[in-house]
Amino acid sequence: MVSEENITDITIIGGGPIGMFAAFYAGMRNAKTKLIETLPVLGGQVALLYPDKTIYDIGGYAAVTGKELIRQLTAQMQLFDTTLCMEEKVLKVEKNDEDIFELTTNKGIHYSKSIIITTGQGAFKPRKLSLEHAEQFEDHSLHYIVNNIEQYKDKTVAICGGGDSAVDWALTLESVAKKVYLIHRRDKFRAHEATVEQVKQSSIELLTPYVPEALHGEGNQLSSIVLKEAKGNRTKTIDLDFFVVSYGFSSSVGPLKDWHVDLEKSEILVNQKMETSVEGIYAAGDISTYDGKIKLIATGFGEAPIAVNHAVHYIHPEEHTQPYLSTNLSFDE
C-alpha cells in the first residue's frame, strides 16, 4: 500500500504553456500537484522554438514574446507549491488495485489520484549532431538547449543552424560572449529577415556555407571544431569554448499509445469534461481532440481549468465542479 503522503492529487504530464497554466489552476483548487516534463526547462515549444517571437492571440496581451509569456506563467505557477520533475519521461501509466495511477518514468515511479496530459504535439527532443565523439561533449560544452546564458560569459561560442532559434541565440549571446560564430550550411537563412539583417550588422562572424565535420577536445571540454564546405572540399578550424547546435526539435507521442486512452491518429479523444476514455485521466491543449477543436494556445488555456475542475470532482465527488471565482480569493504578497 502506498502511503498518502506519496500520492499526488493531480499529476500533469507536459510542461508547456498549457501544463503550466493547469498546474497554477490546480493550485487554485487546493490540489496537491506534480508536473513532469521531459526537458530541462519549462515552456515547451514556445520556449524552445520562438522565445523572442511575438504572439498576438493571447487574451489580455496586445502582443507578448514567447519568453515573456513563459516568464509570466512561471510567476503564476509559483503562487502555489507545484512539485516539478524535470528531465523525466513517462514510460508507462497503469491504475493499481487501489484506483491510484502509477506513472513509471525513466527515473522512478510516481503515484497520483488523477492525471492531466498536456504534452502538446508530443515529447520534444533536440535533433542531435551525428558526429563521432558528440556524446562525449553533450551537456558540457556541446549544447542543444540554451538555459543558462551566464555560462557563456566571456567565452567563444559557435552556434550552428539557420532558423529563428539559431539567429536569436546568436544575437542574445553577442553581448555576453567574447566571440560568437554563426554557422549555416546555406548562404540564406530561414529566420526572419529583420533578425538576419541584425546579425549582418553585428560583430557575429558568419560562416556559410559550412557544416560541422569533426569535434576536438579533451574529456568533456571542446577546444575546436572542423567545418567543411557544404558543397566543396575546403575546411576551416575554429577554436571555441562552447558549441550550440540548433537543428530544431522532433516530437513524438512515444508510449502514449500504450496508456489505454483512445486516440484519433496521434491525438487523445476527450469529451466535454476533457476526460479521456480512461476514468481519471484528462487531456488539454494540442494533444487533445474533439469535434470542432481549434488548436490555439488560447483554446488550451480554456481547456486546462475544465480538466482541473473535473479532476478535482473525480477525486472528491462531494466537491462542486464549478469553482469559486478567483476574485473571491486573495494571495499573500
Q: What is the 3-state secondary structure (H, E, C) of 110-124?
A: EEEEEEEECCCCCEE
pTM confidence score? 0.71
Which of the four pLDDT bands, split at 50, 70 and 90, describes residue 320?
Answer: confident
pLDDT at position 329 is: 65
pLDDT: which is higher, 308 or 146: 308
In this structure, are residues 260 and 277 in contact, taking their beta carbons and an 8 Å threshold?
yes
pLDDT at position 327 is: 66
pLDDT at position 45 is: 81
C-alpha cell at 253: 507521442
Q: Which residues contact 94 (CB under 8 A, 6 or more apart)?
A: 101, 102, 104
Q: What digits encode the pLDDT tens for the residues 11-35?
A: 999 999 999 999 999 999 999 999 9
Which of the four pLDDT bands, split at 50, 70 and 90, describes residue 123?
Answer: low
pLDDT at position 270 is: 98
In this structure, are residues 103 and 114 in contact, taking their beta carbons and an 8 Å threshold?
no
pLDDT at position 146 is: 81
pLDDT at position 55 is: 84
Closest CA to 225 of 255, 260, 183, 258: 183
Average pLDDT across the chain, whole number:
91
Residue 113's alpha-carbon distances to 85, 96, 322, in angstroms, are 17, 11, 20
pLDDT: which is higher, 306 or 3: 306
Closest CA to 313 of 280, 290, 270: 280
What mean pLDDT do residues 189-214 have? Answer: 94
Residue 248's alpha-carbon distances to 128, 129, 132, 165, in angstroms, are 9, 11, 20, 8
* pLDDT surpassing 60 at residue 118: yes
Q: Sign of torsion, CA 143 146 152 155?
A: positive
In this structure, are residues 286 and 299 in contact, taking their beta carbons and an 8 Å threshold?
no
Q: What percent of the chain has pLDDT over 90?
A: 72
What mean pLDDT do residues 106-135 have? Answer: 90
* pLDDT surpassing 50 at residue 249: yes
Which of the four pLDDT bands, split at 50, 70 and 90, describes residue 332?
Answer: low
pLDDT at position 203 is: 97
What mean pLDDT do residues 171-198 have? Answer: 93
pLDDT at position 330 is: 62
* pLDDT surpassing 90 at residue 50: no
Which of the four pLDDT bands, split at 50, 70 and 90, describes residue 333?
Answer: very low
- At position 275, the amino acid (one-letter code) is E
pLDDT at position 92 is: 95
In this structure, are residues 169 and 148 in contact, taking their beta carbons and an 8 Å threshold?
no
Lowest pLDDT segment from 8-12, 83-87, 145-149: 145-149
